[in-house]
């Protein structure tokens, strides 16, 4: 019998712990989703602000399509996250409704038992009946047991009253939580309707623009190819300069046949610290949104064409200052034909490149610190666009900046 009781207690404890763990997990998930939802809302706000700043300028069709594609993607993600939140709240509402049903049944049974105890207590409440109950005992031992029974019965009665009070308060709290969850869900659904309308509007404008572009697709395809050729030319030149810097570093250290920088003890520490901060590096501009991500991807206008991006393109506001994302040394200030200045900063075996600058505030050999302003992003006077191209590489091998920069 004792073993059975122990087993029941163990099972009850496991069920309680699993339930608590599930509730904790749900709450954490809800917090994560809300954080992500607010991040996406802020991103949409930044897109709208940048659009508003450049409203008076005549943007190229390609730039407009990139804008629409980006905002559509962010809006779609926001709807997805909001739906996940609403679904999670639905599960919490259903769970709380089940708890309320169980608690109400428990309270009903407790109150019924408590009422019966009160009736029984009332019938035997006078002192004389209690004394007679004790005096009618066969011996002292039985009288003592009866006295203990009277005390235990009284204690049990009080305990039942406290349990009913506790369960009632618990029920009130769950009902309150339930109402809050229902209100939160209503707000999320209302918010999603507004976002959905905005998404539909963006898609319609995108569709109209695409119809206009398709009438002269060959011209745009030619422009896209020309832009990619120019980007490839710049990438080749950067690659040549990096290889020359590596060769110079290795020659100084008397290292041969190496494709990476020969590091001093100080540079090894710097590279190690840079790696330790992967995913935590600050943005190279204070405010901005990603217009073009890293890697090879289909062009948004002509799907038969691909774009190869060795970094990310960040749209920012006019006059935006460029910041070093980590401590390092200015390795090069690159100046090429028909290309705005590029600052290259070395962090041990890693490099960060900041392209399309109008003003440069540092020179080759300068030591820079995290978030130090190194220049200003160039603003195209014809379309009002302020775009920073940002690259991270280990030697000549580029890496996705989104893996390195915080919440990129």
Q: Name 392's bridge partners.
A: 352, 399
Tokens at residue 110, please?
């407790």
* Cα 54 from Cα 47, distance rounded (Å): 11
CA distances from 107 to 131, 150, 162, 171, 178 (A): 34, 25, 12, 9, 19
Say whether pLDDT at 56 is over 70: no
What does the domain layout of the chain look like in residue ranges? 2-214, 217-403
Lowest-confidence range among 167-176, 341-350, 358-367, 391-400? 167-176
Q: What is the pLDDT of residue 124?
A: 53
Question: How buried is residue 198: exposed, middle or buried, by Cβ count under 10 Å (0-12/13-18/19+)?
Answer: middle
Question: Which range, 133-142, 154-163, 186-195, has the best average confidence (pLDDT)?
Answer: 186-195
pLDDT digits (tens, 9 = 90+) for 41-50: 888 887 887 7
Tokens at residue 170, please?
């618990």
Tokens at residue 94, please?
């259903």
Q: Provide the 8-state DSSP code for 334.
A: E
Contacts of residue 288, defined as CB under 8 A and 6 or more positions apart, other chains included, come to 46, 314, 315, 316, 320, 388
Burial pattern 115-143, b for ≥16 Cβ within 10 A else e, equals eebeeeeeeeeeeeeeeeeeeeeeeeeee
Q: What is the pLDDT of residue 215?
A: 78
Q: What is the CA radius of gyration of the chain?
A: 35
Q: What is the pLDDT of residue 186?
A: 86
* Placement of tokens 């799907």 in the chain: 303
Q: Note the CATH number of domain 217-403.
A: 2.70.70.10
Q: What is the pLDDT of residue 8?
A: 45
Q: In the chain, what is the straight-line distance between the N-terminal and C-terminal CA atoms, in Å?
A: 61
Say whether pLDDT at 1 is over 80: no
Cα dihedral sign, 58-61-64-68:
positive
Q: What is the mean pLDDT of residues 97-125?
A: 68
Say whether pLDDT at 170 is over 80: no
Percent pLDDT > 70 in the chain is: 81
Lowest-confidence range among 2-6, 104-108, 227-231? 2-6
Q: Provide the 8-state DSSP code for 379.
A: B
The residue among 49, 70, 45, 50 whose CA lies nearest residue 384 is 50
Tokens at residue 238, please?
């950067």
Q: What is the pLDDT of residue 282?
A: 97
* Cα 333 from Cα 350, distance rounded (Å): 16
Query: Mean pLDDT score of the chain, rounded to an integer?
Result: 81
Say whether pLDDT at 339 is over 50: yes
Q: What is the pLDDT of residue 216?
A: 76
Contacts of residue 132, defined as CB under 8 A and 6 or more positions apart, other chains included, come to none
Q: What is the pLDDT of residue 322?
A: 98
Asked if residues 352 and 390 have their Cβ atoms less than 8 Å apart, the reply is yes
Q: What is the pLDDT of residue 54?
A: 61
* Cα 73 from Cα 76, distance rounded (Å): 5
């Amino acid at each position: 019998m004792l073993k059975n009781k122990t087993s029941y207690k163990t099972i009850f404890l496991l069920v309680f712990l699993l339930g608590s763990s599930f509730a904790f997990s749900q709450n954490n998930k809800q917090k994560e989703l809300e954080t992500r939802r607010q991040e996406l809302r802020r991103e949409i706000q930044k897109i709208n602000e940048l659009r508003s700043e450049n409203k008076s300028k005549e943007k190229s069709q390609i730039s407009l399509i990139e804008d629409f594609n980006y905002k559509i993607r962010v809006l779609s993600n926001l709807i997805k996250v909001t739906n996940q939140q609403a679904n999670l709240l639905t599960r919490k509402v259903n769970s709380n409704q089940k708890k309320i049903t169980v608690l109400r049944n428990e309270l009903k049974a407790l109150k019924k038992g408590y009422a019966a105890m009160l009736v029984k207590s009332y019938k035997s409440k006078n002192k004389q009946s209690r004394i007679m109950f004790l005096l009618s005992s066969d011996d002292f031992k039985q009288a003592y047991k009866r006295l203990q029974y009277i005390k235990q019965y009284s204690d049990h009665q009080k305990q039942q009253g406290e349990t009913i009070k506790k369960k009632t308060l618990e029920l009130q709290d769950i009902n309150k939580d339930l109402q809050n969850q229902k209100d939160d869900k209503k707000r999320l659904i209302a918010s999603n309707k507004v976002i959905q309308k905005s998404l539909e509007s963006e898609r319609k404008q995108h569709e109209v623009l695409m119809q206009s572009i398709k009438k002269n697709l060959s011209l745009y395809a030619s422009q896209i190819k020309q832009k990619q050729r120019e980007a490839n030319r710049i990438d080749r030149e950067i690659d040549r300069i990096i290889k020359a810097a590596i060769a110079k570093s290795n020659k100084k250290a008397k290292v041969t046949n190496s494709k990476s920088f020969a590091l001093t003890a100080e540079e090894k520490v710097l590279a190690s610290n840079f790696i330790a901060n992967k995913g935590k590096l600050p943005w190279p501009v204070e405010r901005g949104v990603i217009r073009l991500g890293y890697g090879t991807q289909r062009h948004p206008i002509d799907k038969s064409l691909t774009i190869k991006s060795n970094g990310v393109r960040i749209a920012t506001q006019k006059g935006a200052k460029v910041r070093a994302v980590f401590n390092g040394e200015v390795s090069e200030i690159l100046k090429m034909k028909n290309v705005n200045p590029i600052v290259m900063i070395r962090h041990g075996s890693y490099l960060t490149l900041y392209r399309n600058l109008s003003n440069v505030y540092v020179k080759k050999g300068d030591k820079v610190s995290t978030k130090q302003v190194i220049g200003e992003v160039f603003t195209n006077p014809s379309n009002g666009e302020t775009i920073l191209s940002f690259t991270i590489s280990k030697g000549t091998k580029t890496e996705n900046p989104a893996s390195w920069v915080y919440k990129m």
